[in-house]
């Protein structure tokens, strides 16, 4: 064990000063060294080193980006590094200081001087030469800092016990995110486990976890002070904690994660539906995945806005036109509030899916411009893809010195990407897309008779053909996007048709029990609830067992429902919720024929299943045993 002292200092004396001090203390304690740290900054000196501390120290670490008075350390070996190096490569810095102390003890007296250059020796130790030990701890270059910013790649498990996966994230996503990743990596190795750590930093996710790694993991650790999506960890032991605890108490966090009980098994059908959804999501890639990410974040705004607008109609279809009334307030919240944010959020999170956090600003601004230019949801989609790819190109192309890298996510990328996307939306994209959107809206509003029936049948068939897959989502996204243009009939046809496959299967398990196993008949009860809630995926387990018969029956019933809904002029203002939103007055109109179209499609699907499926032969009883 060595006695060490250190000074950390950055121009402000706030973020990097404190983080470097914390990293040095933590790693020194893990390695069994006694370290005292003094911090210096704009607010003066904190936790100053005493003369006794300095006299007892065998080496000094100066982690500073500003000038520091070194006169009081005369005769002591000094290792000089930047605060960024102390934060990101803490162990190497401490090892260099300890090596310098050892060299000073065995060589001639003299100071140990930090010098620019690479650390010599295979193990990075300093060499005593000419009576003077030299600890070379270079300041990281831009490329080195960028590499260090990523979570360290874990070595193979020494004991081969298993695999852990983790996610670390802090609000800024700069230092604590990567320090916590490093701490968890060391703690997992000490416990004999391999670990993969995904860092969600200021310029996006690094070392993203794959589905295969998550599936193999013994436990999942999420050390974050910001939102982290947890749906991909369903069915795994999951420990959620703060990034600070993951940093300071990494060994305890690892132990707690491994001691968690295994999750309880989900109900049979629900578990299979969740697996089907996960598999569909895993298959999503490229532009399709980015589009669905935007739709998923936009959806709550559309649902809330549509239902609040429908509530304003309870007082009369035109009651909101009277200023100062409750209907007017409801229309302001739903129409001018939630629906105004619909396209910007769609664009923002398409860009987020492409470029992570750097894409959010240009996407949101581009989406807002699309709304102002009357380009609708089509303009929002274009703005989202523009914002994402421009931000990602800037993120991956622009290189700054290491000490300026922190400016990229807060200044360089938002400024340049927003400027480019905004100019393109105003001068290139806006007017053509607005003309397309206007033409599409006018066509749909003026459509009637055979055209409406045909479009409804097409949307209905698309909702059932892959039950939550790309075709289903394409029809759904098209219908949701038209809500911002006050075009409600496609949405009504889409939701009604999406309810039919699980409802039809549930009805078939009742009226044709001999065509289904006991397990399928039991699952039919749950499918009825899922169908009523507009969860088309409730039919996937049945389709997986017998796709040749189940899928055509579902497509037929959904096409009938979609055609009836569109042909009868049914409109829906809330894009989700199934039958549970129909109790709200004016959420759908006309209500009676809308329910009739759902019932008709459900019956058609059930009858088609009766025709297509064959009765299951009863089990043959074993012959009686001979006496």
d(CA 175, CA 163): 25
Neighbours of 113 (CB within 10 A): 15
Catalytic residue numbers? Answer: 170
Q: What are phi and psi of 375, to 5 degrees?
A: -85, -5
Distance CA 105, CA 565 (A): 88
Which residue reads 């420990």 in tokens?
A: 239
The CB density around residue 30, as the number of other CB atoms within 10 Å, is: 17
Q: What angle do CA 82, 398, 149 make, to 5 degrees?
A: 40
Which residue do the tokens 């893809």 mark? 385
DSSP state, residue 113:
B
Helix (H, G, I), strand (E, B) or coil at 363: helix
Quick one: residue 160, left, alpha or beta (phi over 0 = left, psi -120 to 50 = alpha)? left
Q: Would you give the distance in Å from CA 621 to the centre of its chain?
A: 54
d(CA 378, CA 362) in angstroms, rounded, equals 16
Residue 577: C-alpha distances to residues 134, 161, 261, 277, 587 (Å): 70, 45, 34, 18, 11
Task: Decide if 608 contacts 557 (C-beta within 8 A).
Answer: yes
For the chain, the helix, strand and coil percentages under 3-state DSSP, each to the nearest 5: 60, 10, 25
Q: What are phi and psi of 31, to 5 degrees?
A: -90, 0
Distance CA 135, CA 119 (A): 8
């Amino acid at each position: 064990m060595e006695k060490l002292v250190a000074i950390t200092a950055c121009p402000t004396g706030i973020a990097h000063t404190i983080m470097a001090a914390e990293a040095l203390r933590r790693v020194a304690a893990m390695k069994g060294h006694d370290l005292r740290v003094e911090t210096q900054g704009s607010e003066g000196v904190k936790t100053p080193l005493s003369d006794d501390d300095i006299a007892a120290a065998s080496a000094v670490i100066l982690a500073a980006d500003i000038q520091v008075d070194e006169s009081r350390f005369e005769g002591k070996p000094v290792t000089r590094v930047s605060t960024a190096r102390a934060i990101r490569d803490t162990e190497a810095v401490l090892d260099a200081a300890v090596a310098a102390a050892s060299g000073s003890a065995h060589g001639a007296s003299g100071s140990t001087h930090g010098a620019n250059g690479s650390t010599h020796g295979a193990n990075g130790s300093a060499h005593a030469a000419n009576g003077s030990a030299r600890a070379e701890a270079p300041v990281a270059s831009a490329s080195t800092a960028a590499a260090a910013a990523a979570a360290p790649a874990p070595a193979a498990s020494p004991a081969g016990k298993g695999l852990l996966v983790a996610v670390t994230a802090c609000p800024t996503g700069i230092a604590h995110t990567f320090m916590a990743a490093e701490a968890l990596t060391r703690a997992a190795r000490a416990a004999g486990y391999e670990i993969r750590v995904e860092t969600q930093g200021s310029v996006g996710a690094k070392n993203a976890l794959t589905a295969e790694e998550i599936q193999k993991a013994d436990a999942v650790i999420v050390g974050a002070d910001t939102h982290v999506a947890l749906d991909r960890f369903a069915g795994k032991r999951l420990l959620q904690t703060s990034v600070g605890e993951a940093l300071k108490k990494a060994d305890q966090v690892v132990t707690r994660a491994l001691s968690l009980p295994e999750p309880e098994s989900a109900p049979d059908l629900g578990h299979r539906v969740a697996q089907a959804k996960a598999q569909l999501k895993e298959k999503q890639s490229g532009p399709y995945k980015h589009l669905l990410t935007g739709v998923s974040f936009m959806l709550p705004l559309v649902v809330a806005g549509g239902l609040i607008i429908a509530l304003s109609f309870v007082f009369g279809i035109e009651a909101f036109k009277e200023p100062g009334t409750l209907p007017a307030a409801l229309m302001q919240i739903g129409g001018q509030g939630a629906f105004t944010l619909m396209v910007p959020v769609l664009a923002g999170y398409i860009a987020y899916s492409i470029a992570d956090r750097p894409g959010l600003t240009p996407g949101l601004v581009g989406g807002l411009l699309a709304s102002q230019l009357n380009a609708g949801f089509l303009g929002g989609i274009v703005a989202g893809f523009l914002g994402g790819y421009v931000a990602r190109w800037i993120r991956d192309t622009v290189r700054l010195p290491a000490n300026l890298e922190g400016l990229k996510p807060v200044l360089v990328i938002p400024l340049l990407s927003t400027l480019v996307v905004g100019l393109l939306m105003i001068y290139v994209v806006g007017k053509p897309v607005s003309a397309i959107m206007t033409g599409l809206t006018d066509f749909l509003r003026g459509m009637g008779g055979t055209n409406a029936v045909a479009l409804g049948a097409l949307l209905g068939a698309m909702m059932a053909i892959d039950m939550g897959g790309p075709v289903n989502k394409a029809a759904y996204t098209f219908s949701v996007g038209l809500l911002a243009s006050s075009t409600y009939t496609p949405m009504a046809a889409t939701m009604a048709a999406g309810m039919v496959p699980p409802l039809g299967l549930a009805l078939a398990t009742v009226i044709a029990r001999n065509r289904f196993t006991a397990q399928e008949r039991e699952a039919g009860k749950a499918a009825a609830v899922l169908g009523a809630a507009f969860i088309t995926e409730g039919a996937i387990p049945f389709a997986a067992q017998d796709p040749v018969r189940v899928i055509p029956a579902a497509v037929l019933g959904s096409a009938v429902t979609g055609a009836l809904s569109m042909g009868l002029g049914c409109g829906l203002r809330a894009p989700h919720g199934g039958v549970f939103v129909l109790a709200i007055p004016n959420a759908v109109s006309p209500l009676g024929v809308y329910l009739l179209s759902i019932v008709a499609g459900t019956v058609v699907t059930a009858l088609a299943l009766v025709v297509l499926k064959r009765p299951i032969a009863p089990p043959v009883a074993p012959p009686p045993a001979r006496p």
